Amino acid sequence: MTQSVWSKIGTVVGAALILIWCLLPVAWIISLSFKSQEAVINGSPGFLPKSGGGAGFSNYKDVLTDGDFLLAIRNSIVVSLGATLLSVVIATLAAYAIARLEFRGKRFVLTTALVIAMFPVVSLVGPLFDMWRTVGLYDTWWGLMIPYISFTLPLAIWTLSAFFREIPWEMEQAAQVDGATSWQAFRKVIVPLAAPGVFTAAILTFFFAWNDFVFGISLTSTENARPIPAALSFFVGQDPFNRPASLLSAAAVVATVPVVVLVLFFQRKIVAGLTAGAVKG
Amino acid sequence: MHMASIEMKNIVKKYGDGFPAVNDVSIDVADGEFMILVGPSGCGKSTLLRMIVGLEDITSGDLVIGGKRVNDLAPRDRNLSMVFQNYALYPHLTVYENIAFPLRLAKRPEKEVDEKVREASKTLDLDEHLQRKPANLSGGQRQRVAMGRAIVRDAQAFLFDEPLSNLDAKLRGQMRTEIARLQKKLGITTVYVTHDQTEAMTLGDRVAVMKRGVLQQLASPRELYEQPVNLFVAGFIGSPPMNFLPATVEGGQVTLPFGTFPLPAAKAEKAAGKGLLMAGIRPEHFEDATVLDSAAIDQARTFTARIDVREWLGDQQYAYIPYDAEAQVQDQLKELAREADSDSLRTQLVVSLDAQSKGQEGDEATLFIDTDKMHLFDPSTGENLTLNA
């Protein structure tokens, strides 16, 4: 009795500690984004803005009327969504083949994929910079999407092939007997069943692309393709020695919101155990 | 609704290692017939079924459905419907959409889809579950949905792959009757794979018994039971199984471990002079001599034995009588049991006695043996020497 009470209290306290640890920086950024620039520079800023130090939504207004930043938002959305979509489609087809077919070099493909994922991103930036400038991909959306896709594909393929392996092969055979072509069986039976895996892969890919800074800063030079994380580093303001912390915070919050929304949206889709009931329970 | 016969001509299935999983099997399933494929695990029955439906390639031989050779047709072009062992329902679709799935693939008009699904659901008593997902159904309900998906389409034939093996015993009995009723009502050619000999005996018009890829006997259930062609079929069909005893036949008499008994002339003639044979006699062909009319029985066909264990079941009872056999015979009995997927721990006689038969376990009892019903097998080939004799 007492033990269960204590273990409950322990769970709550533990969860609270982890939440505080994780959310404090976020809370701090939100707090900063509502302060005026002067209040930040004056030093000893509290969590809540002191009287007269509050800026209301003016920082947000400034951020969202900044044309360059709006372009960065556009770039980030297009590049991240594009990379996610392509990566997931390619990974789904590849993972299905890997899960279903026995072919020579299957292990090789899987291991190579892992090796690519382990490559330090920074080591590839130099060569890519040179290559992209030569082929004309420098400072374009595709120039960012291609590295994003190649870095997220391995993980997506591994996640999805694990999902496909879990789906009983009979499901597909039943569909074929019911009159489906292989493609129909894949599209109408296998893909819906692998949906949780597809969404997991999509979220991981999107995060990678959305949060990337190294490629974003190195492979772009103008607002043509520069994504949000890189754009943030160009927020200098008038005084190069005092960066506009509150403006930056507001921009950071704006950059974080889509991610949070996306996770909340997809979370409903990632329902484990969707295959329950397909076969004998 | 068009139905069709299924002709298998010298069907062979070889896997990569050259092992024939199905070896030269020829079976004709007549239009509207209920055909059972039965045998122990690994006998090739499921492989054969999957070749019929098109999920396995046929190595050689011809498969003709409705007069058309279908060896090279994809499953979707054979117009057969199949119920899988694990049902293979689509978990993301409701019961309604599961049943409608084949019709939607065939792009039938919405009105027709709805009519047919409702008709199937009515037949299978699924009306109240149409909007549920398979995960929320019981085993029996899932089974019925799988059948609904099979009957909704006007398929040429139904194929069942051990459809009842995942159900508990009581439900299995109910579903067995249900399948028999449905097949009679629809009159569709059916091939049904099972390892359960009760299902084989009760459902089939004819039963094909298979062992290690080879067809052993193709006959009606009654014929299989009464006239098994070899030791394997004799031992596989019937529960409890047929008793096998070492026997020698000489001068119209058969000598068993329990004594020497007169044998009908026709049987004696066919088995004479063949040395050590294997006698097969079913448990019900013994009886407690005390419950029989003593005037009516041939005293020469009685013997006394010590009954080890009695199992009283109300309407009858089983009695177990251990005996010693030579090592060679024991080995053969073990081999037979292994082939039929069962175990024999000891050499013993199982007899089915009248429920009235009384006596203590461990007591001597006088038993009558009906040698008219006895079969004699060649122990080396397994062949039944007294077939139809």
Task: Average the pLDDT over A247-273 and give the result.
Answer: 76
Average pLDDT of span B336-349: 74
Question: CB atoms < 10 A from the CB of B271, how many?
Answer: 25
Contacts of A278 in chain B (CB under 8 A): 86-91, 134-135
**What pLDDT digit, counting tens, does each position of B89-125 carry?**
888 888 999 999 998 888 889 898 888 888 888 888 8
Q: How far is B163 from chain A (nearest CA, A)?
A: 11
Give the number of other Cβ atoms within 10 Å of residue B54's Cβ.
24
Query: Does residue A239 surpass a pLDDT of 70?
Result: no
Contact residues, chain A to chain B, C-beta under 8 Å = 168, 170-171, 173-181, 184, 188-189, 192-193, 195, 274-281
Cβ–Cβ below 8 Å for B53 and A177: yes
Confidence of residue B252 (pLDDT cuts 50, 70, 90): confident
Which one, of A22, A28, A24, lies nearest residue A245 by Cα?
A28
Interface A:B, Cβ pairs < 8 A: 88
Lowest mean pLDDT among A118-122, B41-45, B54-58: A118-122
Q: Do A180 and B89 touch (CB under 8 A)?
A: no
Q: How distant is the Cα of A102 from the closest Cα of chain B, in angstroms? A: 13
User: What pLDDT is recorded for position A52?
Assistant: 64
Q: For residue B300, give the nearest of B359, B371, B242 by alpha carbon.
A: B371
Report percent pLDDT > 70 for chain A: 88
pLDDT of residue B2 exceeding 60, the answer is no
Q: What is the pLDDT of residues A61-79, one digit of tens each?
A: 888 887 888 888 889 999 9
Helical ranges in A136-213 per DSSP H = 141-166, 169-177, 182-185, 191-193, 195-211
- Label residues A8-43 b or e (16+ Cβ within 10 Å = b): eeeeeeeeeeeeeeeeeeeeebbbbbbbbbebbeee
Q: Are B76 and A181 a contacting pair at CB < 8 A?
A: yes
Residue A81 has a pLDDT of: 92
Which of these, B63, B23, B12, lies nearest to B216 by C-alpha position?
Answer: B23
| Residue B212 C-alpha, separation from nearest chain A C-alpha, in angstroms | 24
Residues of chain B contacting A175 with CB distance shorter than 8 Å: 90, 101
- Interface mutation target, options A102, A163, A177, chain B, most CBs of B under 10 Å: A177
Nearest residue, CB atoms, B139 vs list A176, A192, A280: A280
Q: Are the Cβ atoms of B91 and A180 closer than 8 angstroms?
A: no
Question: Bridge partners of A114?
Answer: none
The domains of chain A, with CATH numbers, are: 66-234 (1.10.3720.10)
Contact A228, A76 (CB under 8 A): yes
- ipTM here: 0.79
Confidence band for A274, pLDDT divided at 50, 70 and 90: very low
Selected residue with higher pLDDT from B30 and B339 = B30
Instruction: Report, in angstroms and rounded to the nearest whole number, the Rg of chain B calculated over CA atoms.
Output: 24
Interchain pair B80, A175: CB under 8 A: no
Q: Are B234 and B384 in contact (CB under 8 A)?
A: yes
Count CA atoms closer than 13 A to B74's CA, side-chain side. 11
Residue B138: both structure tokens together: 């019981």
Beta bridge partners of B38: B194, B209
Q: Least CA distance to A173: which residue of chain B?
A: B55
**Which residues from A are below 8 Å from B92, CB to CB?**
192-193, 195, 274
**Predicted pLDDT at B387:** 84
Is the pLDDT assigned to residue A272 strictly greater than 70?
A: no
pLDDT digits (tens, 9 = 90+) for B353-363: 988 888 778 88
Band of pLDDT at residue A158, cut at 50, 70 and 90: confident
